[in-house]
Amino acid sequence: MATTTRTPTLADDLKPLHHPKTWIGKYVWSQDHKVIAIQYAATAIGIGIVALVLSAMMRLQLGFPDTFRFIQPENYLQAVTMHGMIMVVYLLTAILLGGFGNYLIPLMVGARDMVFPYVNMLSYWVYLLAVIVLAASFFVPGGPTGAGWTLYPPQTILEGTPGHEWGIILMLLSLAIFIVGFTMGGLNYVVTVLQARAKGMTLMRMPCSVWGIFVASIMALLAFPALFVACIMMLLDRLLGTSFFMPAIMSMGTDVGYEGGSPILFQHLFWFFGHPEVYIVALPAFGIVSDLISVHARKNIFGYRMMVWAIVIIGALSFFVWAHHMYVSGMNPYFGFFFATSTLIIAIPTAIKVYNWLLTLWRGDIHLTVPMLFAIGFLFTFIHGGLSGLFLGNVSVDVPLSDTFFVIGHFHMVMGVSPILVIFGAIYHWYPLITGRMWNVAVAKWHFWITFLGVYAIFLPMHYLGILGVPRRYFALGETAFIPPSAHLANQMITIAALIVFFAQLLFFWNMIWSLFWGKKTPPNPWGAASLEWQTPDVPPAHGNWGPKLPVVHRWAYDYSVPGAPRDFIPQNEPHTDLTKAHAT
Ligand code: HEM
Ligand SMILES: [Cu+2]
């Protein structure tokens, strides 16, 4: 026969997908991006709960130092370290890229799955291994490392630091494994966006969520290797006695046998990863919040192109600011000047994003749904965290505030609470798609208000403590002359607020689990969203997402309240009619 045959590809045929026959193949060793997404998210939330419990323990100690004696000074340092590292890497990075990245990218760009489903599956299992290795450090002699999440040598390795026996080895090993796992996932996210988009899905028609996750994945692929080599070199210093980072020093009266390494080199490597890491977490949150605001205000996102370019520019600039974390390392003032300048320049695209979110809300048909509440909550916490960042970006202001609770207040607002609020909003938003059911609205609203008001009660007073000079990573303040009694009162109030927020999360978990079984069944597209993930033939989407035929995209993701259209949204895969002119993208 003369007909040309070609190998079916992911783009047009279901065949190349591996359809599992067994329950285990479907839900355990799954190659379906949606199942992998849930596995990632569940694991991240599981280990995140450990980090949350650690924060409650620290707060009990800080608020009532003479009452709760179940943690000792070294345990406090271990809790600080594990809490910080778990929150940043194992919870936020994993859930935003491994969880939301996996779930949303193929559905939003109109693909059947990730381009390399098998590697995608491996990525999750390697991540799980990293989590297990990390968690194991709670059970080894000496316990987990107490070096602080920044792991600065030389103290990380020296005897005086808790967990210097096994804890630090497991931490470094776990991070290296995490990075291997992430790389497998990250390559998938990038290649899928570049290669597997449905017909008509140009880059400039992708929803902001995909843009945020896409740029963050590229950044992570560039930033994590710096941490990877730093971990390996530190492991060698610890295990084989090399001196990459360890200087020639005496510890407790004895020469520890290292020579000539550079601790500052570690700081550079760490923050070359560490600062972009902030945006690896923030950019997906920026993208997702843009979509939440647009859908629930029934308006197109204001300045879509500007929003996309801001994401790209922020991502690029964030590789040139890392040393603003090192103003107190004794750097040359010109160096500090450069980094202060580049840091403040990032405020420009960031402020543009904030204005555009506000302008999207402006005169919108705002539905105060739970996802919208969380999105608005994010705007508050992010603006507040951003403002204190402007202070810390300047060398002369940062130096006295370094290592105080001002810094703790700042970064919890901007990169702790803000992405967490977006994650909650996003889970509520996509829950009906993932499960086919709706959660309990009243309970969800309680969850929002307690969490939102609670985080202000926790983190706002920390700025005040910091200005008073209260240091971070201190087990107890004791009778310090320059710290007034009001600091102790503030610490008690913060702890009470933290406990309330802690228990309020039970509302969330109860709601998610209860609704899975007893929640009201939802119609396929309950929010009336225009983006592709809500247009699948089955809800929840089946393996392969689109049934026999892939969608064809005719418009951008933001056709809301278009004059003349029969409904207040037009799905991306709906062809043009005379009534609904194409948006100029
Ligand atoms: C209600 C939630 C939370 C509470 C009550 C809380 C509380 C704390 C406390 C008490 C400290 C130690 C301060 C010190 O003595 O230096 C701390 C440190 C830290 N937290 Fe949180 N936190 C919370 C959520 C988060 C989240 C969501 C993140 C994600 C970015 C995060 C990241 C960190 C980091 C990176 C550190 C620094 C660790 C270090 O100094 O090595 N926290 N937190
Ligand atoms: Cu930074």
List the CATH number of the domain containing 330.
1.20.210.10
What does the block give as tokens for 535?
């247009």
Q: Which numbered ligand comes closest to the C-alpha of 346?
A: 2
Which residue has its alpha carbon closest to ligand 1 atom 7? 55
406 CA distance to ligand 1 centroid (A)? Answer: 12
67 CA distance to ligand 2 centroid (A)? Answer: 36
> Ligand 1 site: residues with CB under 6 angstroms?
55, 58-59, 80-81, 83-84, 87-88, 92, 148-149, 408, 412, 415-416, 420, 458, 472-473, 498, 501
If you ran DSSP here, which 8-state letter would residue 437 be given?
E
Burial category of 5 from C-beta neighbours within 10 Å (exposed 0-12, middle 13-18, buried 19 and up): exposed
What does the block give as tokens for 30?
């799954």
- Residue 202: its pLDDT value, please? 97
Sign of the four-CA dihedral 241, 242, 243, 248: positive
- Which of 87, 151, 280, 281 to mutate to test ligand 1, by most ligand atoms within 8 A of the CB atom? 87
Who contacts 384 (Cβ-Cβ below 8 Å, separation ≥6)?
413, 414, 460
> Using an 8 Å Cβ cutoff, are 553 and 570 in contact?
no
Question: What is the rounded distance in angstroms from the CA atom of residue 130 to the CA atom of residue 145?
Answer: 16
The ligand 1 atom at the shortest distance from the C-alpha of residue 501 is: 1
What does the block give as tokens for 504?
């309020």
Instruction: Judge whether 560 lies within some domain.
Output: no
The ligand 1 atom at the shortest distance from the C-alpha of residue 87 is: 29
> Using an 8 Å Cβ cutoff, are 545 and 106 in contact?
yes
Q: Which numbered ligand comes closest to the C-alpha of 91?
A: 1
The ligand 1 atom at the shortest distance from the C-alpha of residue 91 is: 29
Task: Tell me which residue of 443, 549, 460, 533 sits closest to 498, measured CA to CA.
Answer: 460
pLDDT tens per residue across all 585 residues of the chain: 344 454 445 555 556 677 788 888 888 899 999 999 999 999 999 999 999 999 999 999 999 998 887 789 999 999 999 999 999 999 999 999 999 999 999 999 999 999 999 999 999 999 999 999 999 999 999 999 999 999 999 999 999 999 999 999 999 999 999 999 999 999 999 999 999 999 999 999 999 999 999 999 999 999 999 999 999 999 999 999 999 999 999 888 889 889 989 999 999 999 999 999 999 999 999 999 999 999 999 999 999 999 999 999 999 999 999 999 999 999 888 999 999 999 999 999 999 999 999 999 999 999 999 999 999 999 999 999 999 999 999 999 999 999 999 999 999 999 999 999 999 999 999 999 999 999 999 999 999 999 999 999 999 999 999 999 999 999 998 888 889 989 999 999 999 999 999 999 999 999 999 999 999 999 999 999 999 999 999 999 999 999 888 999 999 999 999 998 999 999 999 998 755 555 555
Sign of the four-CA dihedral 207, 212, 215, 220: negative
Provide the 10 A C-beta neighbour count for residue 150: 15
Who contacts 16 (Cβ-Cβ below 8 Å, separation ≥6)?
8, 9, 10
The residue segments making up the domain with residue 446 are: 29-246+278-535
What does the block give as tokens for 565?
């259209």
Which residue has its alpha carbon closest to ligand 1 atom 40? 148
The ligand 1 atom at the shortest distance from the C-alpha of residue 148 is: 41
Instruction: Judge whether 99 lies within some domain.
Output: yes
324 CA distance to ligand 2 centroid (A)? Answer: 6
Instruction: Judge whether 57 lies within some domain.
Output: yes
Angle between helical axes of 33-63 and 485-518 (0-180°, round to 10): 150
Question: What is the rounded distance in angstroms from the CA atom of residue 550 to the CA atom of residue 542?
Answer: 13
- Which of 145, 408, 506 to mutate to test ligand 1, by most ligand atoms within 8 A of the CB atom? 408
Which residue has its alpha carbon closest to ligand 1 atom 17? 80
Sign of the four-CA dihedral 337, 339, 343, 346: positive
Domains contained in the chain, number: 1
Question: What is the rounded distance in angstroms from the CA atom of residue 160 to the CA atom of residue 176?
Answer: 25
Instruction: Judge whether 580 lies within some domain.
Output: no
Residues in the chain, overall count: 585
Instruction: Judge whether 495 lies within some domain.
Output: yes
Question: What is the rounded distance in angstroms from the CA atom of residue 533 to the CA atom of residue 509?
Answer: 25
469 CA distance to ligand 2 centroid (A)? Answer: 21
Question: What is the rounded distance in angstroms from the CA atom of residue 276 to the CA atom of residue 274?
Answer: 6
> Using an 8 Å Cβ cutoff, are 543 and 107 in contact?
no
- Residue 243: its pLDDT value, please? 96
274 CA distance to ligand 2 centroid (A)? Answer: 7
51 CA distance to ligand 1 centroid (A)? Answer: 9
Instruction: Judge whether 287 lies within some domain.
Output: yes
Taking the CA atoms of the chain, what radius of gyration do you get in angstroms? 24
- Which of 45, 76, 83 to mutate to test ligand 1, by most ligand atoms within 8 A of the CB atom? 83
Instruction: Judge whether 286 lies within some domain.
Output: yes
The ligand 1 atom at the shortest distance from the C-alpha of residue 85 is: 35
List of E strands, 340-449? 437-438
411 CA distance to ligand 1 centroid (A)? Answer: 9
Cross-strand partners of 254: 251
Q: Which numbered ligand comes closest to the C-alpha of 318?
A: 2
What does the block give as tokens for 481?
């002359």
215 CA distance to ligand 2 centroid (A)? Answer: 17
Q: Is 298 left (phi over 0), alpha (psi -120 to 50) or beta?
A: left
- 484-499 tens-digit pLDDT: 989 999 999 999 999 9
Coil, strand or helix at 410: helix
Sign of the four-CA dihedral 418, 525, 217, 231: positive
325 CA distance to ligand 2 centroid (A)? Answer: 6
The ligand 1 atom at the shortest distance from the C-alpha of residue 455 is: 1
Instruction: Judge whether 22 lies within some domain.
Output: no
